[in-house]
Amino acid sequence: MFVSIAALSFLLPKEGPGAYDHIQLEYALIPPFTHIQFVKLTKSDNATQVIQYYPADSIVRISKNALLIYYNKKETQVALKEGSEYSLEQKIFYLGTDRFGRDMWARIAHGSRVSLSIGFLAMIVSLSVGIPLGAVAGYFRGAVDRSIMWLATVVWSVPSVLLVMSFTLVFGKSLAQVFVAVGLTMWVDVARTVRGKVMSIRQKEYILAAQIGGLSTWRILSVHIFPNILGPILILAASNFSTAVLLESGISFLGLGVQPPTPSWGNIIRDHYAYLLMGKPWTVLFPALCIVGLILSLISLANQLRDYYDVKGE
């Protein structure tokens, strides 16, 4: 479902009342399922075309070159220059608007792209770091194992949020820095799990036969060991995905994640949590439900993968 929402965000308008970054303070904080009529004014000047939107309860054409627009007991006079055209459009704000009059549905849909992208890419980073380190530690053991596990313990001792905050403060707060920072906090679980599985499988007779047969370490790991630890890796991938989404939401709430005007579920909640006590809970409720729903879905996926691969029974 959340992937579908992210895909639908590409179909949303890039400008106008339905755009995620369109600011219109006249209808800020309106409740869900509110209908608003707009005057769409199109001005053509040589090769350029400018489109403006005005919310309107009613309009009066006071002259050939002027239009009077009434909205919320206020009136606005708009000049109609030569080549200007206007039309009326209806817009339904299904999830209401935020404090700047931006469409909440559009912002949540675009925010899903950020959360899913960071979650997926951070998961890839954690697997890319954790699997090789865990495999090397479990296969070679000895000093190599102790060195890698020492590094894992050091990383594990630092709280994940603090590590991500430090990384983003040093290297910046763009999308790339955020997913790399989140991914680098989650590789420890992957490395430890892979290390344990590799150590266990390394004692099998077919691995000893492969070593005696002169197969390279890379071939033994890639052909004979990795296929046998795929189940636990997939379970960790789903688990890390949910952890990354939660971490991203947390650091965005603290203002250290993706920066405005790019929306994410965390910074939407940060901008509006005070409105929970002002009778406008939808500004926080909808993004919070998205975070909870996505995390529960990923946890459920991880549990189903665990049951499918019967990890407990191994």
CA distances from 187 to 68, 125, 208, 220 (A): 61, 8, 29, 23
Residue 311 has pLDDT above 70, yes or no: no
Model confidence over 159-205: pLDDT tens digits?
Answer: 888 888 888 788 877 778 888 888 888 999 999 999 999 999 988 88
Model confidence over 157-166: pLDDT tens digits?
Answer: 888 888 888 8
Residue 314 has pLDDT above 60, yes or no: no
Model confidence over 212-235: pLDDT tens digits?
Answer: 888 888 999 988 999 989 989 999
Q: Where are the domains of the chain?
A: 36-93, 104-309
pLDDT of residue 81: 81
- Selected residue with higher pLDDT from 129 and 9: 129
Model confidence over 32-77: pLDDT tens digits?
Answer: 999 999 999 888 776 677 888 999 999 988 888 888 999 988 888 8
261 prior amide bond cis, ω within 30: yes
pLDDT of residue 192: 94
* Alpha-carbon gap, residue 290 to 172, rounded angstroms: 26
Q: Side chain identity at 275, as an amino acid letter?
A: Y
| CATH number belonging to the domain at 104-309, selected among 3.40.50.12280, 1.10.3720.10, 1.10.760.10, 3.40.50.360 | 1.10.3720.10
**pLDDT (mean) for 132-151:** 94
Model confidence over 83-114: pLDDT tens digits?
Answer: 788 889 999 999 999 999 999 999 999 999 98
**pLDDT (mean) for 245-253:** 91
pLDDT of residue 112: 92
**pLDDT (mean) for 268-275:** 93
pLDDT of residue 196: 93
pLDDT of residue 46: 67
Neighbours of 308 (CB within 10 A): 11
Instruction: Tell me the β-bridge partners of 97.
Output: 103
Instruction: Tell me the β-bridge partners of 35.
Output: 92
Q: Side chain identity at 178, as an amino acid letter?
A: V
Average pLDDT of the residues of the chain:
88
* Alpha-carbon gap, residue 112 to 245, rounded angstroms: 10
pLDDT of residue 243: 92
